[in-house]
Chain A
Amino acid sequence: MTKAQHIDWLLSLADDALILGQRLSEWCGHAPALEEDIALSNIALDLIGQSRALLSHAGRLEGAGRDEDRLAFFRSDREYRNLLLVELPNGHFGDTIARQFFYDQFALIRYTHLAQQTFDSEVAAIATKALKEVRYHAAHSAEWMIRLGDGTELSKARIQESVDRLWPFTGECFQEHTILDAAIASGAMPDRSRAQNTWNESVGAVLNQATLTKPEGSWKQSGGRDGLHTEHLSYMLAEMQVLPRLHPEAKW
C-alpha cells in the first residue's frame, strides 16, 4: 500500500464511524424510550471516539498538520470516504436499527481482523478497544431486530420494509475497490469473500430468528469510497461543519 492509499484507507475507516455517529447523535432526546436515548447516544459516542482516534492517526501519517478536527470539519463531501449506508437518514427507529444492524455485523468482522493484523499497529490498538464496543453495539442492534421482527404485525412489516430498503446499500461493504484491495493485499483488511460469507451467515441467522425474510436482490449502491455520495451527505456536513467553517480562526 502506498502512503496515499494508507491514508485513504484510514479515512474510510474513520468516516464510517464518524458519519454513523453523527447520524445516531440526531436521535438524542427523540428516541422511543429513555433507555434507547441512552443506548443510541452511547453508541454514537463510541463511534465518534473511534473516528477521532483514526482521524488523528491519518493526520499524523499524512504529516501535513491536519488534526482530527481539520479532517472532520474541512473536508467536502467529495473527500469523505464512508459507506453510503451510514449516511442515510435515520428514518424511523426500525430504519435506524436495520442500518445499525447491517453495519455492526460488518464492523464486527472488520474490527476483529484489524485488531489482529500487523500491517498498522496503531490501528490494531484502536481496533482492540473498538471491538469491545462493537460487540455491544452488535448485540443491541441484533436484539432489536429480533424484538421488532417477532414483536407485533406492525413492527414486523415495518422492520421488513427497512431491511428491504437498506439491502442494496449493504453490498458496498464488500465491494472491490483499489484502496481496499491494496489493504487486503497488505493483510490490513480481511479477505473479501470470506468476510462476506461470514456477514451473510450472521445476518441470515439473526433475520431468521427475527422471523424476517432475507432479501434476494444483488444490486449494489456504491460510490462512497470514491467520494460519490447520496444527496444526504452534503446536508449533513453543512450542519456538522457550520461553526468551524464560519469561524476558521477560532479554537473551541
Chain B
Amino acid sequence: MDENERGMEPYLCGESFHAMDLNQRFEDYIAADQKIEAKDWMPDEYRKTLIRQISQHAHSEIIGMLPEGNWITRAPSLKRKAILLAKVQDEAGHGLYLYSAAETLGANRDDLMDALIDGRAKYSSIFNYPTLSWADMGAIGWLVDGAAIMNQVPLCKCSYGPYARAMVRVCKEESFHQRQGFQIMLNLSEGTDEQRAMAQDSLNRWWWPSLMMFGPNDESSTHNEQSMRWKIKRFSNDELRQRFVDMTIPQVELLGLTVPDQDLKWNESTGHYEMGPIEWQEFFDVIAGNGPCNKERIAARKKAHRDGDWVREAASAYAQKMNAKATSNQTHAA
C-alpha cells in the first residue's frame, strides 16, 4: 500500500525529529488507526513485542502440525485424509508467511527456528497435549482453531500492516478448519455409540485447555496494557474467552454433548454463560515444559530440522554454483 492510499502524511520524516517527537508521532498515528509498515520508524519495544508475538504464532502453527499430522496416516476415509492433509498443509503455509512477517521486522527465520528447537521460544501450549483418537481431529478444528480465530480475527486490524494482512489470510483458512472440525464432531455425534463416546471423550480432554488458550485472567496477564494501547492486541483475554464460551455452548448442545464443567450456567441478566474456575496451575505447568508432550514436540521438530541440514546445505551450495555460473556467463558475454 503506498502512502497516499493510507490517507495520511507519512509520519516518519527521519532526521528532523528528535526521538521524543518520533515516539509521539508514532503513538498519534496508531491512535488514528493507521497502519505501521516495515520501513516506518517504530519504538524498539513495539518491534520486540511484535517479533515475539508473530514468531510465537508462527511456531504454534509449525508445532501444531505435529498433533494433527499424527492422524493423517490413520484418517478413516480418503476424503477425511485429503481434508486433514490440506489443513495441516495450510498450517505450514501460515507458518511460512508469519515467519516472513517477522522477517519484515528484522528477525531471521533461521534464528527463530533455532530458538524454537533450543526450547528458548514459546508456542501455544495447547499443542503439548496428545491426540489420542480421531475425534481429536474434530475437537482441535472445532475448539482449538475456534479459539484461535477468536484471538486472531482482531489481529486482522492490528496496527502492524504486514501482520494484519497475513492474519486476514490466516483467518479465512482457519474458519474453514473450524468448520471441518465441527463437521467431524457432528458426524461422530450422529454415529455409532463408540463414535459418540469418542466425541465426548475428546471434548472432555480439550475443553479446559481450549479455554486456557486465551491466556491468564486479565488481572494476571503481563502484556495486556501496552499491547492494547499499541493495537497489537484489541480485546482482553477474559473478553475473548467469554465470547468463545458464549459461541461454543450452543454448538455443544447441538452435538448432544456436555462440557466437563459442572458450574457452567446461563446468566439471564448478563446474557452470558458463567463458567467454573480454570485450573491455572495446569496451564503454568504446561508452559513451564511439563505438559504431556512438550519434550516430544520439540524433539520431533529438532529431528526434522537436523535431518534436513544436509538437504538445505545442498540446496544452497547448488544455488551458489548456479549464481557463480550466471555471473561468469555475464562476464564473458560482456
Contact = CB atoms under 8 A, between A and B. Distances in A.
B144 to A, nearest CB: 16
Given A68-B78, A152-B314, A155-B310, A35 B96 contact: yes
B15 interface: no
A34 B112 CA distance: 13
B92 interface: yes
Interface in A1-50: 18, 22, 25-26, 28-38, 41-42, 44-45, 48-49
A148 B314 contact: yes
A28 B65 contact: yes
Contacts of B191: 250-252
B112 to A, nearest CB: 12
B310 A250 contact: no
B19 interface: no
Contact of B74 (A29, A33, A240): A240
Contacts of A29: 62, 65-66, 69, 88, 92, 300, 304
A252 B195 CA distance: 9
A55 B79 CA distance: 12
Contact of A244 (B69, B77, B79, B95): B77
B96 to A, nearest CB: 5
Nearest to B321: A150
Interface in A30-76: 30-38, 41-42, 44-45, 48-49, 51-52, 55, 68-69, 72-73
Given A45-B89, A152-B310, A243 B65 contact: no
A117 B329 CA distance: 45
Given A154-B310, A155-B311, A41 B76 contact: no
A38 B92 contact: yes
Contacts of A38: 89, 92-93, 96
Interface in B188-213: 191-192, 194-195
Interface of B is mostly: helix
A147 B314 contact: yes
B73 A146 contact: no
B65 A44 contact: no
Contacts of A26: 72-73
A154 B314 contact: yes
Contacts of B80: 252
Given A25-B72, A28-B89, A34-B95, A152 B78 contact: no
B311 A41 contact: no
A30 B300 contact: yes
Q: Give the interface size bracket for B toward A.
A: 35 or more
B91 to A, nearest CB: 9
A193 B310 CA distance: 38
B307 interface: yes
A247 B62 CA distance: 32
A249 interface: yes
Contacts of A42: 89
B308 interface: yes
Contact of B318 (A92, A147, A242): A147
Nearest to B305: A32
B287 to A, nearest CB: 22
Contacts of A94: 311
Contacts, number: 143
Contacts of B312: 32-33
Interface residues of A, number: 50
Contact of A25 (B66, B85, B195): B85
A146 B192 CA distance: 51
A135 interface: no
A96 B303 CA distance: 17
A239 interface: yes
Given A93-B308, A247-B195, A41 B89 contact: yes
A158 interface: yes
Given A41-B89, A151-B313, A31 B194 contact: no
Contacts of B78: 18, 48, 51-52, 55, 68-69, 72
B74 A239 contact: yes
B306 to A, nearest CB: 10
A223 B72 CA distance: 28
A38 B191 CA distance: 33
B89 A155 contact: no
B81 interface: yes
A43 to B, nearest CB: 10
B82 A240 contact: no
A48 B93 CA distance: 20
Given A48-B82, A146-B318, A33 B88 contact: no
Of A28, A92, A147, chain B has the most CB atoms within 10 Å of the CB of: A28
A155 B79 CA distance: 37
A38 B96 CA distance: 10
A167 to B, nearest CB: 21
9 contacts: A37-B65, A37-B89, A38-B96, A73-B76, A93-B307, A152-B317, A155-B311, A158-B310, A240-B73
| 6 closest A-B pairs by CB | A32-B308, A151-B314, A155-B314, A243-B76, A29-B65, A29-B69
Interface of B: 62, 65-66, 69, 72-82, 85-86, 88-89, 92-93, 95-96, 99, 134, 187, 191-192, 194-195, 300, 303-305, 307-315, 317-318, 321
Given A30-B69, A44-B85, 7 more contacts: A26-B73, A32-B308, A38-B96, A45-B86, A151-B314, A247-B194, A247-B195
